[in-house]
Amino acid sequence: MRARRPLLLAPALGLTMLVAACGSPGSSSAGDGSSSSAPSGSSMSSTASGTVCEGVAGDKLVVLTDDQHLQQVDNIVPAVNATVAGDNPDIIGVLDSVSTVLDTPTLIGLNKSVDVDRKTSSEVAQGFVSSKGLDQQKSVGKGTTVVVGAPNFSEGATLAAIYADTLKAAGFDASTQTIGNRETYLPLLENGDLSVVPEYVGTLATFINNKVNGDKAEPVASGDLNKTMSALTDLGAQVGLVFGTPAAAQDQNAFAVTQAFADKYGVSSLSDVASTCGGGVTLGGPPECPQRDFCEVGLKKVYDMTITDFTSLDAGGPLTKAALKQGKIALGLVFSSDGSLAG
């Protein structure tokens, strides 16, 4: 489901490379899924620096608020071929009607229906469009043919189906076409072979910026939605794309704890963890986490968080979520719209 996401694998984008080194000596593992110090238990202990908040087992995971905006924004946004939008001035408004009813909890629920409950993206989209009244559109499409690119992961496929069904309700002759990676499909969107693609504000801004200005271009994506969206709009104009209004829904890197951990230590944000757990926490994530600004490096620099131990697992996958639920780690990198986060 996460083929779209290069953030954690890419070189540091948001923070100075002067701090993009590993954590303190001995903090990270050799990448074999085992950590460099004794596994954490579920008890509370203290050091001279403060409380060591160890993992607390539990079945429910909760995402901590990124209150200092470590992660770049990645709100869902409709990306539209500029010629298509110019010829059909009502298409943006129709797509924006989707954005107005799509927040992150809703996106989590949609992903749960597909990834956990094993429904198809098309049936989930149809139910969503009906339940939100998106099928009650003014007929403005006049039968115009539009092709919605459907990224080849479940979230992207569901969003594309929602766009297509909403456009059909507005009188467009809309269909979906499964697409591959961004390097392959973006040229198709730019030249009009695709009309619309559900995109991600920060990731797309970074991609087009590097395409237009080179791999060493100054980063334009940040934790500020308005600034990132403004940069994306300017970049889009250079490659023949326009954009609708970004939804509140985001699919971005995030950090989770168990609900039991949050309750025990009284935390709901990353700042809470940093201040409450002055003696440190254990962290789990993909092998590259200790060297990445969006992971361990950023937690230390932006939040002044103490990481006592890092366990090499996966990027928001089953290993990280299992380690959290078993109390083997206190904090783990996940994706904010993961269907398993549904209540």
Q: How many domains does the chain have?
A: 2
335 and 236 inside one domain? no
Residues 85/156/299/215 CA torsion (nearest 10 deg): -60
Q: Which residue in this structure is represented by tokens 């000596």?
A: 25
Residue 223 predicted with pLDDT over 60: yes
pLDDT in tens, 196-221: 999 999 999 999 999 999 999 999 99
Domain that holds residue 166: 76-243
Segment 321-324 long-range contacts (CB within 8 Å, at least 24 positions apart): 321/61, 321/256, 323/55, 323/284, 324/55, 324/61, 324/256, 324/257, 324/258, 324/284
Residue 276 lies in a domain: yes
118 and 262, same domain (yes or no)? no
pLDDT category at 50 given cuts 50, 70, 90 is: confident
Last residue of a domain, one of 181, 214, 243: 243
| Strand pairing class (61-63; 253-258) | antiparallel
Same domain? For 161 and 307 the reply is: no
Report the predicted TM-score, pTM, of the whole model to 2 decimal places: 0.86
Q: What is the pLDDT of residue 132?
A: 98
What secondary structure, in 3-state letters, does the chain show?
CCCCCCCCCCCCCCCCHHHCCCCCCCCCCCCCCCCCCCCCCCCEEEECCEEEECCCCCCCEEECECCCCCCCCCEEEEEEEHHHHHHCCCHHHHHHHHHCCCCHHHHHHHHHHHHHCCCCHHHHHHHHHHHCCCCCCCCCCCCCEEEEEEECCHHHHHHHHHHHHHHHHCCCEEEEEEECCHHHHHHHHHHCCCCEEEEEHHHHHHHHHHHHHCCCCCCCCCCCHHHHHHHHHHHHHHHCEEECCCCCCECCEEEEEEHHHHHHHCCCEHHHHHHHCCCEEEEEECCCHHHCCCCHHHHHHHHCCCEEEEEECCCCCHHHHHHHHCCCCCEEEEECCCHHHCC
Q: Determine the pLDDT at residue 47.
A: 56
**Same structural domain, 234 and 305:** no
* Alpha carbons 218 and 223: distance in angstroms, whole number: 15
Per-residue pLDDT tens over the stretch 127-174 = 999 999 999 999 999 999 999 999 999 999 999 999 999 999 999 999
Q: Do residues 61 and 88 share a domain?
A: no
How do residues 64-82 score in pLDDT, each as one tens digit?
Answer: 999 999 999 999 999 999 9
Confidence of residue 289 (pLDDT cuts 50, 70, 90): very high
Distance in angstroms (rounded) separating the CA atoms of residues 253 and 289:
12
Kindly state whether residues 287 and 318 are assigned to the same domain: yes
Question: Do the bridges between strand 241-243 and strand 76-81 make them parallel or antiparallel, or are there none, so unpaired?
Answer: antiparallel
- CATH code of 29's domain: 3.40.190.120
Residue 7 in domain: no
Confidence class of residue 45 from pLDDT cuts 50, 70 and 90? low
173-179 β-sheet, strand order: 173-179, 145-151, 196-200, 76-81, 241-243
pLDDT at res. 32: 39
CATH number, domain containing residue 139: 3.10.105.10
Q: What integer pLDDT is reported at residue 6 of this predicted model?
A: 43
- Whether the predicted pLDDT of 7 surpasses 80: no
Whose structure tokens read 């398993």?
A: 340
Instruction: Indicate whether 3 pLDDT > 80.
Output: no
- 93 inside domain: yes
| 72: its two tokens | 């770049």
Average pLDDT on 109-132 reads: 98
User: Strand 280-285 vs strand 50-53: parallel, antiparallel, or unpaired?
Assistant: parallel
Residues 88 and 172 grouped into a single domain: yes
pLDDT at 309 over 70: yes
Per-residue confidence (pLDDT) for residue 41, from 0 to 100: 38
Domain end residue (candidates: 215, 243, 271): 243
Residues 118 and 220 in one domain: yes
| pLDDT band at 46; cut points 50, 70, 90 | low
- Supply the pLDDT for residue 18: 30
Residue identified by tokens 């990132």 is 228
| pLDDT exceeds 50 at position 318 | yes
Average pLDDT of the chain is 89
Residues 90 and 62 occupy one common structural domain: no
The residue among 221, 243, 265 that closes a domain is: 243
Q: Is 132 inside any structural domain? A: yes
Residue 2 lies in a domain: no
111's tokens: 């992903």
Query: Going by DSSP bridges, is the β-strand pair 280-285/307-312 parallel, antiparallel, or unpaired?
Result: parallel
Closest CA to 227 of 14, 92, 70, 73: 73
Same domain, 226 and 89: yes
Question: For position 25, what pLDDT does the model report?
Answer: 28
Q: Which residues pair with 51 in a beta bridge?
A: 46
pLDDT at 22 over 80: no
Q: What is the pLDDT of residue 343?
A: 72
310 and 263 assigned to the same domain: yes
Proportion of the chain above pLDDT 70, given as a percent: 86
Q: Measure the CA–CA gap between 155 and 264, rounded to whole angstroms.
A: 33
Q: Strands 253-258 and 173-179: what pairing?
A: unpaired
Q: What is the mean pLDDT of residues 108-120?
A: 97
User: Does 236 lie in the same domain as 281?
Assistant: no
